[in-house]
Amino acid sequence: MKDNKSQDCLFCLIYKQKKDIIYENEYFYAQFDKFPVSPGHLEIISKRHLVSMFDLSIFEWEHLFPTIKDTIKIIKSTDFQDVYAKFLVNPLNQSSQDYCQQSLASLGIGKLPDGYNIGVNEGVAAGRSIDHFHLHIIPRYQGDVENPRGGVRNIIPNKGDY
């Protein structure tokens, strides 16, 4: 993390401060998302400052899958009522507060996930908002949406049900 871009990068700063990191290995760290889509939503973030998943080294690629497995174990063993109550003590902003409150009221709070959406917003057109590689793990709970068929295909309306 020596380039100028990393000095201004939110994820590089979080890693430097070691703030709210719940998991770490040689190549990645993880944190619970402060704008959770569902209880347990977390981000796996590269320690090395890079923008695209296609910039991951072969060693980083080899460690990504075990990192996903390790962080899913954390999701399964965490009390999210405590996590979001802590986030609400000093929320990042009103939007973060709203997302945390919605997760606390979610039917998934206090339950083990029934499934997961795992993905990367690769590029601005795909919704990336922070130019640093990060992968989302979003736990899913039976009944959290009316019809989950199509999963990630639903990011474009009317393309998930085929």
State the Cα–Cα distance between residues 15 and 4, nearest whole angstrom: 16
Structure confidence at residue 6 (pLDDT): 72
Structure confidence at residue 132 (pLDDT): 97
State the Cα–Cα distance between residues 133 and 143, nearest whole angstrom: 31
Structure confidence at residue 1 (pLDDT): 41
Structure confidence at residue 33 (pLDDT): 97
Structure confidence at residue 70 (pLDDT): 98
The DSSP-derived string for 71-111 is HHHHHHT--HHHHHHHHHHS-SSHHHHHHHHHHHTSTTTTS
Structure confidence at residue 161 (pLDDT): 74
Per-residue pLDDT of the chain (162 residues; tens, 9 = 90+): 445 567 789 999 999 999 899 999 999 999 999 999 999 999 999 999 999 999 999 999 999 999 999 999 999 999 999 999 999 999 999 999 999 999 999 999 999 999 999 999 999 999 999 999 999 999 999 999 988 888 888 888 878 777
Map out the domains of the chain with their CATH numbers.
4-142 (3.30.428.10)
Structure confidence at residue 5 (pLDDT): 67
Q: CB atoms < 10 A from the CB of 142, how many?
A: 11
> Is residue 21 within 8 Å of 15, Cβ to Cβ?
yes
